């Protein structure tokens, strides 16, 4: 597998967990976070991760991961922990941060995935619109977010 990371050879590998063990600074984001939050039905291939600016992510890029960077001050904003389908805990951005990331990266993402995620978010009972707007202000995307929400709500 990798230096210092062992698993039962008969068990299916939990790629997200193995990657998290080796790279503690990364946070699963965008399409991967949408998948973990059940905001999309598409498998997150390639996996999307966010790292702080200045982080050497060349090996991740070479391994086929989609890399996003953000200011160090905003890297931990909205980060939480969730279980993978294998039951391991990994760092992932929460619902509101994930929606903001989709709006911020709407030109780099499949628009159908982002639109479907926004529709699913709007239908959720655990959504927090106040937190979403607070994060939108920090990321300076209030105007495009309001445009999408006016159509959905």
Sorted by where each begins, the domain ranges of the chain are 15-152
Angle at 59 between CA 28 and CA 32, to 5 degrees: 20
DSSP string, 46-75: S-EEEEETT---HHHHHTT-EEEEE-HHHH
Residue 18 · residue 1 · CB < 8 Å: yes
List pLDDT tens digits, range 83-92. Answer: 998 999 999 9
In this prediction, what percent of the chain has a pLDDT beyond 90?
A: 64
List pLDDT tens digits, range 14-63. Answer: 889 988 988 889 999 999 999 999 999 998 889 999 999 999 888 888 88
Per the confidence metrics, is the pTM higher than 0.85? yes
pLDDT higher than 50, residue 73 = yes
Angle at 30 between CA 28 and CA 36, to 5 degrees: 60
pLDDT at 79: 97
What mean pLDDT is reported for the chain?
Answer: 89
**pLDDT-based confidence at 112, cuts 50/70/90?**
confident
Residue 100 · residue 141 · CB < 8 Å: yes
Weakest mean pLDDT among 112-116, 143-147, 149-153: 149-153
pLDDT higher than 90, residue 76 = yes
Lateral strand order in the sheet of 48-52: 66-70, 48-52, 27-28, 89-93, 79-83
The secondary structure of residue 89, as a DSSP letter, is E
**pLDDT-based confidence at 1, cuts 50/70/90?**
very low
Cα(68)–Cα(29) distance, integer angstroms: 8
Look-up: residue for tokens 């619109």? 129
- Annotate 6-35 with b (16+ C-beta within 10 A) or e (fewer): eeeeeeeebebbbbbeebeebbbbbbbbbb
What token pair was written down for 54? 């200045």
């Amino acid at each position: 597998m990798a230096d210092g990371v062992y698993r039962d050879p008969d068990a299916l590998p939990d790629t997200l967990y193995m990657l998290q063990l080796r790279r503690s600074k990364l946070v699963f984001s965008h399409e991967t976070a949408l998948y973990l939050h059940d905001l999309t039905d598409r498998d997150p291939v390639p996996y999307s991760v966010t790292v702080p600016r200045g982080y050497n992510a060349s090996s991740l890029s070479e391994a086929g991961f989609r890399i996003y960077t953000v200011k160090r001050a905003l890297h931990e904003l909205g980060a939480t922990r969730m279980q993978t389908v294998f039951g391991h805990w990994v760092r992932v951005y929460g619902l509101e941060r994930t929606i903001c990331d989709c709006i911020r990266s709407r030109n780099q993402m499949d628009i159908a995935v982002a639109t479907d995620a926004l529709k699913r978010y709007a239908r959720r009972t655990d959504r927090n619109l106040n937190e979403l707007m607070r994060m939108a202000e920090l990321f300076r995307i209030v105007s495009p977010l309001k445009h999408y929400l006016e159509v959905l709500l």
